[in-house]
Amino acid sequence: MNTHLKLRSGRFSIEKHQYENIGWSERMVSMFLSGALISWGLRKPSKVKFLYGAYMAYRAATGRCLLYEQLGIDAKRPRAVNIRGEFVIEKPASEVYTYWRNLNNLPGSIRHLLDVKVIDENLSHWKSNVMGSLFSIDWDAEIVKDEPGHFIGWQSSAGALIHHVGKVEFTPGPDGQSTVLKVTLSYRPPAGGVGIGLAKLMNPYLEGLLKKEIKSFKHTIENKTPVYT
């Protein structure tokens, strides 16, 4: 018995997902650089410039950066970087809160903090050499949440070099005479993928710096009588 099978034509498609890890702004910059490098490479023959230009053109056309891919960077979906620290202060929570809330106490307690000028109850101007002694940075900060004895939350004002938010939690220790101090800083790296890459390099430094600064604060408040004004 012969069975004849009819093959019917049909439509099918394969859905392609193109992986992109840079945004439009970086793609536009890559397009500009590709034109400049290729043009330069043709006027003054240079294989290196031509290859760099071709890579920038690839970057612009596909939205894909192979270097970012190797580093695990996705500049299309920038995420906030969070730096956290938790420390035990051998002072009651109400005392630690009161000392911290008087912002004038902080420059003498945190080594890289050069100055804090209190403008009003919630707004203040900060100056720090957190990036080293070569230059200092300053910014305005606003306290956006204040729970006396328990919590202080703030954010940098518009125009800050690096916009960030932060919070400090003051939790009484089990003995009632100590404080579990929890500090969280959160910021968004600037300049797309380049900023994210720099943030990856800077984060270990910033984590270590936060640890040192809070140790300095801990030593100060535990070893001297604070002035509450």
Find the range with the poorest average confidence among 34-38, 93-97, 144-148: 34-38
162/88: higher pLDDT: 88
Question: pLDDT (tens digit, 9 = 90+) per residue, 57-115?
Answer: 777 777 776 666 665 655 555 566 788 888 899 999 999 999 999 999 988 888 778 88
Give the C-alpha separation, 93 to 28, whole Å.
52
The answer to whether 192 and 78 are in contact (CB under 8 A) is yes
| Helices 24-43 and 47-62, packing angle to 10 deg | 160
Confidence band (pLDDT; 50, 70, 90) for 9?
A: very low
Mean pLDDT (whole number) for 202-220: 78
pTM of the model: 0.61
